[in-house]
Chain A
Amino acid sequence: MDLNTVLTITPARSREDLRALSPQVAPLAGGSDLFADPQVHLTGLVDLQTLRWPALTVTTDAVADGVTGTVADGVAGTDPGDTGGVSGLEIAATCTLAELSRLPAAPGWTAHPLLFQCCTALYGSFKIWNVATVGGNLCASLPAGPMTTLAAALEAEVLIWRADGSDERMPAAAFVTGNTTNVLGTGDVLRSIHVPASSLASRTVYRKIALSPLGRSGAVLVGRLDPAGGFVLTVTAGTVRPVQLRYPSLPAASALARDIAAIDYWFTDAHGAADWRRAVSGVLGEEIRAELEGAALENGEHP
């Protein structure tokens, strides 16, 4: 819709330009969230797309040092370092879901299908994917935000450009703090999301349920079995913020069910009642556990 109170669009060319941000001036990425609701408090927008951040960068997995590999339109081609030949992935906040969904797999990216699967959990259509950004989805911080699911499930680290000029990295799972709230303050900008190689080398299983076949998510769960055998279940959409259950190895069904039932961030809205969300998360969690167990047995591994 028209944002009739917006009088200025500032194309950002450098980080300096982000100083224009204020409670009345918001960062604009794809626009699919900003333009979908009245924003009468806004007088201006700062266009982040003009920063031309490379959408997808396949990296050596040395994120702690801030070292990234070369950019090749999202195609792997860097020194994988000591991660067993598997690369990490840096996703610019301004990367569209369409770009992410089309990214080809790099060697060893067992978790690669999850990128597309999480895009399909977006309520918006594939035409929305063409404009909606990964960062924008995280920053909207809706419980059903599928990029939050993806980033949390893959233990991604987000890079925040704080308004004071400092950089901050934190686990993506901690970025969203509640229903449409997050750690960003006024003037802060989400710069990128770094997915470590170890996560991409994990086996993942994705499940979504809604009140209708393709409706806005009522619960989205991702199980991730890392190469070392550790299991993480990421519970989203049914909870106001991502919840992660961690186990040194695949847990027994009863333990997982008990732990899911003990989560207390369930909420009710038009897309599902809290008690139902808790219950179906238990169902999906067990499906995930069973599928990973079956896959492990098939591969002769001991889950």
Chain B
Amino acid sequence: MRFQINGEPVDATPAPGQCLRSFIRDQEHFEVKKGCDTGDCGACSVLVDGTPVHSCIYPAFRAEGADVTTVAGLGRPGDLAPLQQRFVDAAGFQCGFCTAGLIVTASTLTEPDLDDLPRLLKGNLCRCTGYRAIEDAIRGTHTPADGSGRTGLGPVVQTGRRPGTVGTSLGAPAGERVVSGREPYTLDVTVPGLLHLSVLPSTQAHARIRSIRTDAAAALPGVHAVLTHADSPATLYSTARHEDRLDDPDDTLVLDPIVRFRGQRVAAVVADTVAIAEAACRLIEVDYEPLPAVFDPAEALRPGAALVHGDKDAAASRLADPQHNLVAELHGEYGDIAAGLAGAAHTVSGSWQTQRVAHTHLETHATIGWLEPGPDGENEGTGERLILRTSSQVPFLVHREICRLFDLEPSRLRVFTARVGGGFGGKQEILTEDIVTLAVLKTRRPVQYEFSRSDEFTLSPARHPMRIYVTLGADDTGRLTALKLGVLADTGAYGNHGPGVMYHGSSESVSLYRVPNKRVDAQSVYTNNLPSGAFRGYGLGQVIFGVESALDELARTVGLNPFDLRRLNSVGPADPLVVTHVEGEDLIFGSYGLDQCLDLAQAALARGNGQAVPAGAEWKVGEGMATAMIATTPPRGHYAQASVTLGDTFGDTFGDVTAANPGRYTVRVGTAEFGNGTTTVHAQLAATALGTTPDRIEILQSDTDAIGYDTGAFGSAGIVIAGKAVLAAANDLAARLRSAASERRPPIASAEWTLEPDGLRSGTAFVPLAELAEHAGASVLRGTGAEDGARRSVAFNVHAFRVAVSTLTGEVRILQSIQAADAGVVMNPEQCRGQIEGGVAQAIGTALYEEVVLDGAGTVTTSVLRNYHIPLLADLPLTEVYFADTSDVLGPFGAKSMSESPYNPVAPALANAVRDAIGIRPTELPMSRDRIWRLLHPERAAG
């Protein structure tokens, strides 16, 4: 059939049941994204003859004769549509995966429509930004961080001393490409001869596979391989990836003869098309021997409970006690908890329950793998390499583990990522790379495996649900005498991130407080539920919900303002950090801004924002706050290497050294960009150190071929680890340039030179960079840097809310939302603010709406986006963001990390505000309207 895409005629015929989204992508218009494929997220929005539609639910055949417009048809880099330009100027995206659909949708709105924006954008989900910046972009306004009235879209990108240096709000380097659909993500590439992989999921929560019949599947035309546990490497591993692979239990096989949760891979088919692969999967017959299963973590610990990994060797798999489903446990005491409680004038005690939360990054997990022939030709000879293009936060850690799993020499594997469409910890796992590797090695063909949105809900690890027990003791002035914490985490069917989340969750939540007597008892437990994994905050969000709720109760009991209770009991810079013993010397107060954060948040709350309380006696108003502390990087090493080169592989002439522009620099760094904005800050760091402008800096990243090593983009390490390595490399190069300049212009000492964009200046002397490049000849001018994370600092966040709660319906309406953050010297104010707003948005989702529901027998019932509610524009308040004025001794230019931590204090702050409003403390997340209503009307609640 004939139709047009962005005015260009296309003659192609879709499959009868094909949707327009995949059909447009078949035409290599990769700017049309798949976020859900169910008409819910809007990432695939296009115009059909000017009418906006979700192309994933639009039958492709209906586009016959139509003019289809994608975001790429609205403008191009250098010639953006005004709306696209505003998304760049307002920092209206982070990962950018939703941006194409948002811009297409917004392009159809008229001025009067802006009054109805929440409704008109309810079909466009963004998981990163919290929407404030998107709304600014659409309206062409700028909302100051303190929430005061919108102004014209001002010079956000040009604030600060010198444009583009640290401390200024530089826009993302990929901005123009993102807003015009030109920035390629994981699957936005054409690979000739590509095969597709589809997985047969387990229908059983716990079963041994007696037999699998695959002959009918294998015989289907177009099928290249059917993979079962018989094909799997026998090596156990963990899907979780850490710097130290021993952090996670080895309990997983690529394909396992025992299935431990519904949805687990049973077999995989590799075929010419997804359709054939799926059809073949339906032809596979599996004979299961059902095994006893356990779905409740407390039951899992009882004697006689079904054992999820009873077959595992505790030492070999590094499990605390597989005969009791115990993955990891922590029991420790500091001081004398019994004495601390016995001597307390006030005690409070309670238990809290958090839910499973799905990351819902808009780009689903995906990998494309292929073999690249070596110099000796296309055989399996020396030099042939496996290439994995994957949606990972940790390409180097994937590289290590895939090499281990498949016994590959490190030089025989390259792992890289394009821009990643959101992660939030969900892509710190090997979920697709392992099976793609197996498929590529088996078929010797390029293979792609792409998660569906339902796979994300049923296969991809969720936030650990936790039961949290807190008992506090305090003297009559409110000074804490005892803090006792119990944690029971459901890590699900596999132990990925189970130990780490348990330890981290129980760490800064406890060490934040100066208490002479502490006790922690934490356990992470297997069940036959969906596995749990890494998610922004890494356990802290859950445990802090309990601890900060208990502290709020204590403040009420003692009669202290909750801010003052924190001032009285929080650690100061001279205090030791104690969980169950004094933390290692690697953790220091490189700066301290908690006092400022408390003051800023309290003042903003007292100031109010003029938001009126809804009319009606049923609305009760309350205020609440909570605090969070986080170490700025993960413990026990987080490594990054970087280099900065004058000239060479800039821009489109990648690899063409002769085309090098001597005024340009190339940064090579291993960490990944998934919307965290580290690329922007790296450009700023390098530009600052080299006295140049960020547009002259190209960044090659997240590629095991680009640089030696990087632990990865997790633990909020993008600025304080990778950024520090980039800064060190840039400083190293700057020193080399000064030396080279001195050699050219003796006797000026190297310290006398100042770097400028085109050369080095000292008084009247000037050495052009071109001269230095020419003189260097074949030996390129390169600086290198590295960072090991051996010393870590702490950062603080304080959140406060004023809410109104309807006693009739349980609705919680946020009247004011405030976050004060101690981020050290803020490298990029708009971007850092965006990280905070996005973290707050996700946390409001956790606090009020989101829950991955299981049926109690291992089946996820919220397996599509329309049954799992992530925040819409309509759901979120404007959050006032305030920064403490601190400078850290460890971070680059005094910066601290600020990406996970904004999430952590939000749920308890909201719960404390609800408690203040209705006089009843919510102890369960999400605080959905039905749950709040039940708290208010226990006599009418069923069950």
* Pair A127/B15 contact, Cβ less than 8 Å: no
Interface residues of A in 230-285 (CB under 8 A from B): 269-277, 279-280, 283
CB 8 Å contact bits of B919-940 with A (1 = contact, 0 = none): 0000000001110011001001
Q: Which of B45, B51, B59, B118 has the most CB atoms of chain A within a 10 A radius of its CB? A: B59
A130 to B861, CA, bound (A): 29
A271 to B42, CA, bound (A): 21
* Pair B274/A4 contact, Cβ less than 8 Å: yes
CB 8 Å contact bits of B80-123 with A (1 = contact, 0 = none): 00000000000000000000000001000000000000111111
* Pair A131/B58 contact, Cβ less than 8 Å: yes
Asked if A295 is an interface residue, CB under 8 A from chain B, the answer is no
A52 to B16, CA, bound (A): 20
Interface residues of B in 851-872 (CB under 8 A from A): 851, 853, 861-862, 864, 866-869, 871-872
For B933, give its contact among A5, A32, A215, A276 (CB under 8 Å): A276
Q: A128-B54, A275-B942 are in contact. Are A35 and B849 (CB under 8 A)?
A: no
* Pair B810/A276 contact, Cβ less than 8 Å: yes
* Pair A128/B123 contact, Cβ less than 8 Å: yes
What number of A residues sit within 8 Å (CB to CB) of B?
49
Q: Which residues of A contact B17 (CB under 8 A)?
A: 2-7, 9, 42, 45
Q: Which residues of A contact B941 (CB under 8 A)?
A: 275
For B119, give its contact among A9, A120, A274 (CB under 8 Å): A120
Q: Which residues of A contact B275 (CB under 8 A)?
A: 2, 4-5
For B934, give its contact among A1, A7, A271, A276 (CB under 8 Å): A276
Interface residues of A in 184-216 (CB under 8 A from B): 209, 211-216
* Pair B56/A126 contact, Cβ less than 8 Å: no
* Pair B124/A125 contact, Cβ less than 8 Å: yes
In the assembled complex, the CB of B771 is this many whole angstroms from the nearest CB of chain A, namely 57
Q: Which residues of A contact B811 (CB under 8 A)?
A: 209
In the assembled complex, the CB of B232 is this many whole angstroms from the nearest CB of chain A, namely 27
* Pair B19/A1 contact, Cβ less than 8 Å: yes
A28 to B60, CA, bound (A): 13
* Pair A280/B16 contact, Cβ less than 8 Å: no
* Pair A37/B38 contact, Cβ less than 8 Å: yes
Q: Which residues of A contact B853 (CB under 8 A)?
A: 270
Q: From B105, which residue of chain A is reached at the shortest CB distance?
A: A127
* Pair B56/A1 contact, Cβ less than 8 Å: yes
* Pair B59/A35 contact, Cβ less than 8 Å: yes
A7 to B14, CA, bound (A): 11
For B942, give its contact among A42, A49, A273 (CB under 8 Å): A273
* Pair A1/B37 contact, Cβ less than 8 Å: yes
Q: Which residues of A contact B928 (CB under 8 A)?
A: 211
Q: Which residues of B contact A209 (CB under 8 A)?
A: 809, 811, 929
Q: Which residues of A contact B122 (CB under 8 A)?
A: 125, 214
Asked if B874 is an interface residue, CB under 8 A from chain A, the answer is yes
* Pair A276/B16 contact, Cβ less than 8 Å: no
* Pair B279/A4 contact, Cβ less than 8 Å: yes
* Pair A9/B58 contact, Cβ less than 8 Å: no
* Pair A214/B57 contact, Cβ less than 8 Å: no
Asked if B39 is an interface residue, CB under 8 A from chain A, the answer is yes
Q: From A144, which residue of chain B is reached at the shortest CB distance?
A: B866
Asked if B52 is an interface residue, CB under 8 A from chain A, the answer is yes
Asked if A67 is an interface residue, CB under 8 A from chain B, the answer is no
Asked if B18 is an interface residue, CB under 8 A from chain A, the answer is yes
Q: Which residues of A contact B849 (CB under 8 A)?
A: 211-212, 215
* Pair A32/B39 contact, Cβ less than 8 Å: yes
Interface residues of A in 1-41 (CB under 8 A from B): 1-9, 28, 31-32, 35-37, 40
Q: Which residues of B contact A279 (CB under 8 A)?
A: 808-809, 933, 937, 940
For A274, give its contact among B53, B861, B942 (CB under 8 Å): B942
Q: Which residues of B contact A269 (CB under 8 A)?
A: 861, 867
Q: A8-B16, A270-B853 are in contact. Are A130 and B279 (CB under 8 A)?
A: no
Asked if A104 is an interface residue, CB under 8 A from chain B, the answer is no
In the assembled complex, the CB of B356 is this many whole angstroms from the nearest CB of chain A, namely 13
A94 to B861, CA, bound (A): 31
In the assembled complex, the CB of A52 is this many whole angstroms from the nearest CB of chain B, namely 14
* Pair B866/A123 contact, Cβ less than 8 Å: yes
Asked if A124 is an interface residue, CB under 8 A from chain B, the answer is yes
For A36, give its contact among B38, B810, B933 (CB under 8 Å): B38
Q: Which residues of A contact B274 (CB under 8 A)?
A: 2, 4
CB 8 Å contact bits of B789-810 with A (1 = contact, 0 = none): 0000000000000000000111
Q: From B876, which residue of chain A is reached at the shortest CB distance?
A: A213
Q: A35-B58, A36-B38, A37-B38 are in contact. Are A276 and B120 (CB under 8 A)?
A: no
Q: Which residues of A contact B296 (CB under 8 A)?
A: none
Interface residues of A in 119-140 (CB under 8 A from B): 120, 123-128, 130-131
In the assembled complex, the CB of A286 is this many whole angstroms from the nearest CB of chain B, namely 9
Asked if B581 is an interface residue, CB under 8 A from chain A, the answer is no
CB 8 Å contact bits of B39-55 with A (1 = contact, 0 = none): 11010010000011110
* Pair B809/A280 contact, Cβ less than 8 Å: yes
Q: A2-B274, A8-B16 are in contact. Are A270 and B808 (CB under 8 A)?
A: no
For A211, give its contact among B38, B930, B943 (CB under 8 Å): B930
- 10 closest A-B pairs by CB: A125-B123, A6-B17, A3-B17, A4-B275, A276-B930, A1-B37, A275-B942, A35-B57, A273-B930, A36-B38
15 A-B pairs within 8 Å (CB atoms) are namely A2-B17, A2-B18, A3-B18, A9-B17, A31-B57, A42-B17, A45-B59, A127-B45, A127-B54, A128-B57, A209-B811, A212-B872, A269-B861, A279-B808, A279-B933
Interface of A toward B, CB cutoff 8 Å: 1-9, 28, 31-32, 35-37, 40, 42, 44-45, 49, 120, 123-128, 130-131, 209, 211-216, 218, 269-277, 279-280, 283
Contacts A6-B17, A9-B61, A127-B105 known; 6 new A-B pairs at CB < 8 A? A2-B17, A42-B17, A270-B853, A272-B930, A275-B943, A276-B934
